[in-house]
Amino acid sequence: MDRRAFLLTSAAALQVRGANDRINVAVIGVGGRGTGHVREYCRLPLARVAAVCDVDQAQTERAVALAEKAQGTKPKAYTDMRKLFDDKDIDAVSIATPNHWHSLSTIWACQAGKDVYVEKPASYNVFEGERMTAAASRYNRIVQVGMQSRSIPHKKRAIELLRQGAIGKVYMAKGMCFKRRPTIGHKPDGPVPAGVDWDLFLGPAPMRPFNPNRFRYNWHWFWDTGNGDIGNQGIHEMDVARWGLGRDLPTAVVSTGGKYVYDDDQETPNTQIATFDYGDATLVFEVRGLNSGGETGMTPAGPNFVGNIFFGSSGFLTVDGAGFQIFLGDRREPGESMKAERGIETGAHMTNFLEAVRSRNYKDLTGDVAVGAMSADLVHIANISYRLKRRLEFDPATRKFRGDAEANAMLTRPKYRAPYVVA
């Protein structure tokens, strides 16, 4: 039975069992992505949205109304996730906060006995990835990272073919995030909007005056709270690149680029190239936020080209949101291909999470926290190289840089703001 048929069969069976068997899920962070979480869980027969939580009262109210209309029952509303974690009616949490909250909220949830679905990137830095992975193990929690590619049929088939030698020995993976991003401009600091808890929004990050450019979505482009587009859209493709290459952590990294064209408040680069050395293979990742063309075999999505190319001794394979295609030999003869099934990406990944919550076996997960944290580590060490402007030697066993105290200091924050401390 294929994955889509399995999901449909499972859904039918659960509908017969009834709502009382559903997993009570709380969604934390109900902005754009979090609203998508609410919609998906309301559609899935395994789940019930039992609560929502956000530091912005207006967003919380919208999410409550959305869930109540979709599922017929009204979820509880929270501002502070710590109070939500005390709620014994909640079985699992789904975290769609900004990146700088991912690890701490996951750790707190695990300590409270909740299972966790957490958005990508798994962690804000390398240290936090280690701590959240340890928490999942220590408290025996199911923790899935929102890297949906791991549950998408055509991407799973593409990786299977790479493993079978369909393009020979794979020697390079190239991930691309050519995603058009407009300038964010300059905005002055100002008063905190009514209904927003700015202290809770910043959490582990340093206290800053409120600025609209550091708030909704644009927090991605500031080092205090985000990881740039390599850790935003890019982490999806970075994970696929590492998955297809069949490697863990590299022995060296170098990343260059800059913020070009725009004069605005953004701190992270809009143009970036990172190269990871595995000795017998290379992973290259490229971010372009400005106008850009694509590459052979890639399918455009408006002005964007987002996906991966794997190069082997007998051909290459391209994979993106539209499907995959193999090209063989010097003449690039078409090999096996597969089109994407639309509309199942997030739902399939969340269903996999809910099924693992039922089975209590983390090995059932397609995107376990250890896998997610490792892929996020590539983002973090690339950004450290970019910020220090030099090549760095890396020890995969210790997850530290070799002989470089300055780089190692950047594996975590200089200081966590109490009481939002990752330890």
SS3 per-residue string spanning 75-122: CEEECCHHHHHCCCCCCEEEECCCHHHHHHHHHHHHHCCCEEEEECCC
CATH 3.40.50.720 placement within the chain: 3-150+345-368
Q: Which residue has the higher pLDDT, 128 or 297?
A: 128
Q: Which residues contact 419 (CB under 8 A, 6 or more apart)?
A: none
Question: What digits encode the pLDDT tens for the residues 135-147?
Answer: 999 999 999 999 9
Q: Cα(304)–Cα(225) distance, rounded to whole angstroms? A: 25
Q: Cα(9)–Cα(350) distance, rounded to whole angstroms? A: 16
Residue 18: pLDDT band (50, 70, 90) is: very low
Pick from 197, 229, 193, 232: which is nearest to 211 by CA? 193
Question: What digits encode the pLDDT tens for the residues 326-348?
Answer: 999 999 999 999 999 887 889 99
In terms of Cβ atoms closer than 10 Å to its own Cβ (0-12, 13-18, 19+), residue 2 is exposed
CATH 3.30.360.10 placement within the chain: 153-339+374-409
Residue 21: pLDDT band (50, 70, 90) is: confident
Question: In the beta sheet, which residues pair with residue 173?
Answer: 283, 310
- Look up the CATH number of domain 153-339+374-409: 3.30.360.10
Mean pLDDT over all residues of the chain? 94
Q: Cα(420)–Cα(81) distance, rounded to whole angstroms? A: 12
345-359 vs 32-43: helix crossing angle, rounded to 10:
60
What is the rounded average pLDDT of the residues 297-326? 94
> What class, spelled out in words, does domain 3-150+345-368 have in CATH?
alpha beta
Q: What's residue 20's pLDDT? A: 59
Query: Residue 77 has which token pair?
Result: 């509303």
Q: What's residue 190's pLDDT? A: 96
Q: Cα(70)–Cα(297) distance, rounded to whole angstroms? A: 40
What is the rounded average pLDDT of the residues 396-400? 97
